[in-house]
């Protein structure tokens, strides 16, 4: 995927502030954080969005979800964190390479308290 910004990060063509790296997955800090801690967890494989995933990606998606709490804890989010996966135009997705936002530190509740 020549023009995909996250594939460029995977290839090392664009720098990132790395959080985690293995054969399948990469995590790096969001360039425009919305909270004290905000990083992305992505598969190295180009998948446009969750809508492009199928049964062959079951293990990969499971690996991402199991890694998320470990990385969150390493980033100091001992009390919990928020995961967001924006999917497609209707989900407000801007970068079409599947990613999980992992956010925490100073976030408001999603459901209004009043
Ligand atoms: P989404 O709306 O879920 O597609 O969000 C895309 C996210 O990617 C945004 O939070 C951006 O700040 C982030 N982003 C875009 N370019 C980069 C980059 N080069 N390095 C890190 N994060 C980025
Ligand atoms: Zn990509």
Residue 45: count other Cβ atoms within 10 Å of its Cβ. 14
Between CA 67 and CA 26 the distance in angstroms is 11
Model-level pTM?
Answer: 0.96
Q: Supply the pLDDT for residue 108.
A: 87
pLDDT at 106: 85
Residue at 38 is within a domain:
yes
Ligand nearest to the CA of 99: 1
For residue 112, the model assigns a pLDDT of: 79
Ligand 1 contacts CB of residue 16 (under 6 A): yes
* Residue 99 annotated as catalytic: yes
Can you give the CATH number for the domain in which 37 is found?
A: 3.30.428.10
C-alpha to C-alpha distance for 2 and 66, rounded to whole angstroms: 29
pLDDT along the chain (114 residues), means of 10: 95 98 98 97 98 98 98 97 98 98 92 79
Domain count, the chain: 1
| DSSP H stretches of helix in the chain | 5-11, 58-74
Q: Is ligand 1 within 6 A of the CB of residue 93?
A: yes
> Which residues have a Cβ under 8 Å from the Cβ of 17 and sit 6 or more positions away?
28, 29
């Amino acid at each position: 995927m020549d023009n995909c910004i996250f594939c460029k990060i995977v290839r090392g063509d664009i720098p990132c502030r790395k959080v985690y790296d293995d054969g399948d997955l990469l995590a790096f800090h969001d360039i425009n954080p919305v909270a004290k801690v905000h990083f992305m967890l992505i598969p190295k494989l180009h998948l446009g969005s969750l809508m492009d995933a199928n049964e062959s990606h079951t293990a990969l998606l499971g690996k991402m979800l199991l890694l998320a709490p470990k990385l969150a804890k390493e980033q100091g989010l001992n009390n919990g964190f928020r995961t967001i996966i924006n999917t497609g135009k209707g989900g407000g997705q801007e970068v079409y390479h599947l990613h999980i936002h992992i956010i925490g530190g100073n976030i408001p509740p999603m459901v209004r308290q009043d």
